[in-house]
Amino acid sequence: MNDIRLQSQPDLSYQDEIPADVRTEELLVNMGPQHPSTHGVLRVVLQTDGEMVLKATPHIGYLHRCAEKIAENVTYPQFVPYTDRMDYLAAMNNNLGFALAVEKMAGIEVPPRAQYIRVIFAELNRIASHLVAVGTYGLDMGAFTPFLYCFREREWILDLFESACGARLTYSYITIGGVRQDLPDRFADMCEEFLDFFEHKIVEYNNLLSYNHIFIQRTGNVGVCPAPLAVAYGLTGPCLRGSGVKWDLRKAAPYSRYDEFEFDVPVGEGRFGTVGDCWDRYFVRVLELTQSARIVRQALQKLSPGPVEAKVPRSLKLPAGEIYSEVENPRGQLGFYIVSDGGRSPYRLKVRGPSFCNLSILTALAKNCLLADMAAIIGSLDVVMGEVDR
Amino acid sequence: MLVYERKKVEYHGRLGRIVALGTALGRFAGPLLLRMAPLIFLAATVGVILFSWIVAHFVNPIVPWLIRDIIAITGIILFVSLVSMIGIWGERKISGRLQSRLGPMRTGGWHGWAQSLADGLKFVQKEDLIPRSADRLMFRLAPYIALVPAIAAYAAIPFGVGWVYRGMDASLLFVLAMLGIEVLGVILAGWASNNKWGLYGAMREACQLVSYEIPMCMSLLVPVMTVGSIDLLELGKAQSGGWFDWLIFRNPFIFLSFFSYYIASLASCKRAPFDLPEGESELVAGFHTEYSGFRFTIFFFAEYAAMFIVSALATIIFLGGWNSPFGDLTGGPLWFTAKSGMLIFIQMWVRWTLPRIRIDQVMHACVKYLLPFTMLLFVGSSLWQLFISQTYVAFALFLRYVLGAFALGILGIVMVAFYVVWAVFGYMNSPLMVGRLVRKHLPGA
């Protein structure tokens, strides 16, 4: 682990070789909180020398909404809508993470139909979230068109969600004990129709963006994150897998019947550069689109009639104690740490947001790179500020 | 079933009546004009001939020179405005279609034809903002330094024989110089607005200028050397006849130099993939970050005017200028505009397809690859030239007509045909091209 380059001062030794009258000073630039490629309200203070970025320091907290403190004042079912608003691009997965943690502590048995519906929606939401990631990454690179193609497909997924739960962004559909209501008629057919359409489109994204020579030039060998560094910073999700580490909670510690499905865990291979560069992190997401579609198809086959919600007492009280439960979100591992004193609301609730941990590596990656590479690196980490700040 | 219906909009007041009138006109005239396009082209040809005849026999001998100049300059400015407005609208429509959207559809009643007009009106009404820390004089001056050379360059561009405001024996040099001055406005804008992102944009533009300018001029030198003149009128006249007389089909080196010129010209008018000075995902808006309202419109105008200029240069020097591809036909300016419009369309197509290049890659590509490449073309073309005019005349003619015109012409025609077939195929096989505006597969929606 000696090759870990932790955060350090930029190397300015070359300045000594420059004569004093031509020596220049660094320029401090504020990138954000309102900047097109910081994906929300991230603020990065850049120490630049011309186009070179010597050091990048992220500043967060512009979207802090005290979600963890709010949790102490509301009951467990009441907190479900707050989880929607953390990673608002993958609200289903957030619901699932919280519901699993509470169910594990309360010992609630979820009926099988609800389990499969949860998997279907979690994976559909993973597709929707990755579509945003892939599309906006193209946007960061200056390619506008893939973005709208991705959003066209995402729109269809949102329609599916709308038909099931009435909401398009913050669903609160997966609740403690199951899902809120059963699927509408013909849902399986509509889902199949979407997947048939969608799987062909992935080829189009690859032809238009992934294998574009300019795109590869912009992302290959940029922001290289070797596997030890990724592990040391606690990266999870596509960022970790992009560095070549085969770690996916759905395989490593299956929850919600993920062990019944066949799927692969794609990892970065350094096809157009070094393992762990921006292109790898990007392409892992593209590959996961296919895998998620595979899981959805299998889950649709396994659906059988039955109840979709377990009996949960109206005033749910958890036994005194604590629990930590993690799920694999589109952006990484989302963890809920619940401390209960036996009451109707948690004594303390701590959320491990994957975006927060993934963002911490920014300073280490964005060192001695070009200004244009900042957009590439931030985009490849795919942070959602709602989850970073909570 | 969810269907996005078009709402009936009501207009009030005097401006409202104008808008309503324009909308009604667009609804009525738009489809009509589209269906009668060949007829309109014929009518325009007749109009062009009539206009030249009237100018030659009545205006030129009778009207004094000052008034003639004023009329001509007004005409040029009107043409530039028209090019910019149609360009902006066309860009939005084309980008919309490429992205499976519709683009502007409402303003003006027919495919949003009045969208850029409405945008212009909106921009004029906006608050006049100058940052407190900006250099006020320079800040105000910069947009005009960008726009005026762009318009001035039109003075030397021949739209046809006799269709040039000021013919000069070094008009190519003049147009290139004007394109070079335009960059100064951009650099000044970035510097004067006293914004770090603006400064980055300006410095990138300067950096890009030194990279693309040399390969661009070098690749123009190849055809210029073949003809032996830098008068655009002479260059155009040298290509009269059919498509096989166009300079691009003269020899393989000119054929290749057309493409290197086209790449460099994209950089020259800050179009993607070379839109670094305003690269929005990196530099917010680059050199025009602090500009709003009317001044921003002027930058926009200048960009589209420059797009037409570089396309016009490519048309005159490589693609036969005002000469039609089927022998000597009339209506020169129309052919000229159509060819330039085609090149502008390709510029837009490229812009909405490719990602942006990094600044070091721009310099790398221009200086390390494009520049030696154009130099090789230059040498090759001079050898070819020497070969033709000197000793082996018969073999040279054989080369000139069989290898040069015939093979390259066939290659060009195959490329154009491929493009047309591809476009038609894409258009016929795109049931989802305009997105899923009508969605009937949802019971809940």
Q: Name the one residue in this structure whose structure tokens are 């948690």.
A: A346
β-sheet with A332-340: strand ranges across: A321-329, A332-340, A348-352
Each residue's pLDDT tens digit, A181-210: 888 888 888 888 888 888 888 888 898 899
Number of H helices, E strands in chain B: 17, 2
* Contact: B356, A141; criterion CB under 8 Å: yes
Question: For the segment B152-201, what is each residue's pLDDT rounded down to a tens digit?
Answer: 898 889 888 878 888 888 889 999 999 888 888 889 998 888 888 888 88
In single-letter form, the type of residue at position A359 comes to: L
Judge whether B306 and B217 are in contact, CB under 8 Å.
no
Using a CB-CB cut-off of 8 Å, the residues of chain B touching A375 are: 281-282
Would the pLDDT of A17 be above 90?
no
Residue B177, Cα to own-chain centre: how many angstroms? 17
Mean pLDDT estimate for chain B = 82
Q: What share of chain A is helix, strand, coil (3-state, %, to 5)?
A: 45, 15, 40
Cα angle, residue A125 at apex, residues A67 and A198 outer, rounded to 5°: 160
Do B303 and B269 meet the contact criterion of CB atoms below 8 Å apart?
yes
d(CA B148, CA B177): 12
Q: What pLDDT, on the 0 to 100 scale, is given for residue A336?
A: 92
Can you give the pLDDT at residue A14?
62
Rounded Cα gap, residues A52 and A14, in angstroms: 13
pLDDT at residue A114 above 80? yes
Nearest residue in A to B361, CA atom: A217
**Candidates A142, A159, A375; nearest CB to B439:** A159
**Which residues on chain B are in Cβ contact (under 8 Å) with A139?**
281
Cβ-based interface (< 8 Å): residues of B facing A? 95, 98-101, 196-197, 200, 203-204, 272-273, 275-276, 279-284, 352-361, 432, 435-436, 439, 441-445
CA distance B445 to chain A (A): 6
> Which two structure tokens, joined as six digits, stand for A222?
């940029």
A43 DSSP β-pair partners: A59
| Average pLDDT of the segment spanning A168-173 | 89
In chain A, the largest separation of any two C-alpha atoms, in whole Å, equals 80
pLDDT at A193: 85
Considering CB atoms only, which of A148, A186, A374 is closest to B101? A148
Q: Which helix (H) or strand (E) element contains residue A45?
A: strand A43-49
Cβ-Cβ contacts under 8 Å for B257 (sequence gap 6 or more): B219, B220, B222, B223, B374, B377, B381
What is the nearest CA distance from A37 to chain B, expressed in angstroms?
Answer: 5
* B269-327 residue pLDDT tens: 888 788 887 777 778 878 888 888 888 888 888 889 999 999 999 999 998 888 887 77
Per-chain mean pLDDT for chain A:
87
Give the pLDDT score at B8: 63
CA–CA separation, B337 and B154 (whole Å): 13
Tens-digit pLDDT profile for residues B2-55: 455 556 666 677 777 777 787 788 778 877 877 777 788 788 888 888 887 887
Pick A214's closest partner by Cβ from B98, B280, B354: B354
- Measured in angstroms, the CA of A376 and the nearest CA of chain B are apart by 9
B417 by Cβ neighbours in 10 Å (0-12 / 13-18 / 19+) ranks as exposed
Residue A121: the pLDDT is 93
**A269 three-class SS:** coil
CA proximity to B276, closest of B262, B266, B261? B266
Comparing CB atoms, the residue among B356, B358, B443 nearest residue A370 is B358
A residues 130-189 lying closer than 8 A (beta carbon) to B: 138-145, 148-149, 152, 155-156, 159, 162-164, 166, 184-186
pLDDT on residue A136: 92
| Interface mutation vs chain B, best among A26, A37, A48, A145, most B CBs within 10 Å | A145
Chain A residues with CB-CB distance to B279 below 8 A: 142, 372
The token pair that represents A335 in the structure block: 């963890």
Residue A36 corresponds to which tokens in the numbers above?
Answer: 């097109």
How much is the pLDDT for A2?
44
C-alpha of A144 from chain center: 22
pLDDT band at B422 (very low <50, low <70, confident <90, very high): confident
For residues A308 and A67, is the Cβ–Cβ distance under 8 A? no
A366 min Cα distance to partner chain B (Å): 14
Q: Do A208 and B353 touch (CB under 8 A)?
A: yes
pLDDT of B438 over the 90 cut: no
pLDDT reported for residue A98: 92
Per-residue pLDDT at A144 exceeds 80? yes
pTM score of the predicted model: 0.83
Q: Which of B279, B284, B355 lies at the smallest CB-CB distance from A214?
A: B355
Contact B99 A149 (CB under 8 A): yes
Q: How confident is the model at residue A5 (pLDDT cuts 50, 70, 90)?
A: very low
Distance, in Å, from the CA atom of A158 to the CA atom of B18, rounded to the nearest integer, reads: 41
Tokens of A311: 């009996």
Preferred mutation among A51, A161, A196 to probe B, highest tally of B CBs within 10 A: A51
Contacts of A221 in chain B (CB under 8 A): none
Residues of B in contact with A138 (CB under 8 A): 355
Which of A11-25, B125-139, B251-265 has the least mean pLDDT?
A: A11-25
Q: In chain B, which residue's Cα lies nearest the Cα of A208?
A: B353
Distance, in Å, from the CA atom of B244 to the CA atom of B326, rounded to the nearest integer, reads 10
Q: Which tokens sit at B341?
A: 């419009």
Q: Would you say B198 and A27 are in contact if contact means Cβ atoms under 8 Å apart?
A: no
Do B357 and A217 count as a contact with CB atoms less than 8 A apart? Answer: yes
- Distance (Å, whole) CA A336 – CA A99: 10
B436: nearest CA partner in chain A: A152
Average pLDDT for B361-389: 85
Q: What is the pLDDT of residue A4?
A: 46
Q: Residue A108 and residue A93: Cα distance in Å, rounded?
A: 19
What separation in angstroms does the CA of B147 have from each of A85, A279, B309, B357? Answer: 47, 40, 12, 26
Nearest-CA distance from A336 to chain B in Å?
33
Helix B171-192 crosses helix B293-317 at what angle (to 10 degrees)? 150
Nearest by CB to A148, from B100, B280, B359: name it.
Answer: B100
* pLDDT score at A343: 84
Distance set, CA B139 to CA B108, B205, B294, B296 (Å): 34, 17, 13, 11
- Please judge whether A142 and B359 are an interchain contact, meaning their C-beta atoms are less than 8 angstroms apart: no
CA dihedral of residues A267, A271, A276, A279 (deg, nearest 10): -100
**Nearest chain A CA: its distance from B355 CA (Å):** 4
**Are B444 and A145 a contacting pair at CB < 8 A?**
no
Q: What is the pLDDT of residue A16?
A: 65
For A224, A268, B6, the CA distances from A38, given in Å and listed in that order, are: 19, 24, 35
Residues 211-230 of A with CB under 8 A from B: 212, 214-215, 217-218
Q: Which chain A residue has the Cα nearest residue B196?
A: A29
Q: What is the DSSP letter of A309?
A: B
**Is the complex ipTM higher than 0.90?**
no
What distances in angstroms separate CA A197 from CA A153, A154, A202, one per listed residue? 9, 12, 10
Among B273, B360, B442, the residue with its CB nearest the CB of A214 is B273
Q: Are A93 and A87 in contact (CB under 8 A)?
A: yes
User: Where would I find the H helices in B153-251?
Assistant: 171-192, 196-227, 232-237
Separation in Å, CA of A169 to nearest CA in chain B = 15
Choose among A29, A145, A155: nearest Cβ to B436.
A155
Count of other CB atoms within 10 angstroms of residue B366: 23
Q: How far is CA A188 from CA A110, A303, B281, in A?
A: 21, 9, 39
A294 band by pLDDT with thresholds 50, 70 and 90: very high
Lookup: tokens for B364: 């790398």
User: Does A1 score more than 70 pLDDT?
Assistant: no
Facing residue for A145 by CB, picked from B99, B436, B442:
B99
Residues 6+ apart with CB under 8 A from B406: B244
Helix (H) or strand (E) holding A178: strand A178-179
Identify residue A224 by its one-letter amino acid code: V
Report yes or no: A149 and A137 within 8 Å, Cβ to Cβ.
no
Count of H-run helices and E-run strands, chain A = 15, 9
Identify the residue among B196, B281, B353 best suited for mutation to test binding to A, counting A beta carbons within 10 A and taking the highest: B281
Q: Which of B354, B435, B439 sits opposite A143 (nearest CB)?
A: B354
Chain B partners of A193 at a C-beta cutoff of 8 Å? 441
What gap in Å lies between CA A120 and CA A292, rounded to an integer?
9
Which of B194, B283, B358 should one mutate to test binding to chain A, selecting the residue with the greatest count of A CBs within 10 A?
B358
Measured CA distances, B321 to B60, B259, B325, B334, B407 (Å)? 25, 17, 10, 10, 21
pLDDT in tens, B89-125: 999 988 888 887 778 887 777 778 888 888 888 888 8
Contacts of A29 in chain B (CB under 8 A): 196-197
pLDDT (tens digit per residue) in A59-89: 888 889 888 999 999 999 899 999 998 888 9
The pair of structure tokens assigned to A83 is: 């989880």
Between A39-43, A356-360, B331-335, the lowest mean confidence (pLDDT) is in B331-335
pLDDT recorded at residue B435:
45
How would you label B124-155 residue by residue, b for 16+ Cβ within 10 Å and e otherwise? eeeeeebbeebbeeebeebbebbbbbbbbbbb
Are B352 and A164 inside 8 Å of each other by CB?
Answer: no
- pLDDT for B5: 56
A173 vs B contacts (CB less than 8 Å) = none
Answer yes or no: do A166 and B444 touch at CB < 8 A: yes
Give the C-alpha separation, B45 to A233, whole Å.
70
Measured between alpha carbons, how far is residue B87 from residues A125, A369, B81, B334 in Å?
Answer: 39, 37, 10, 17
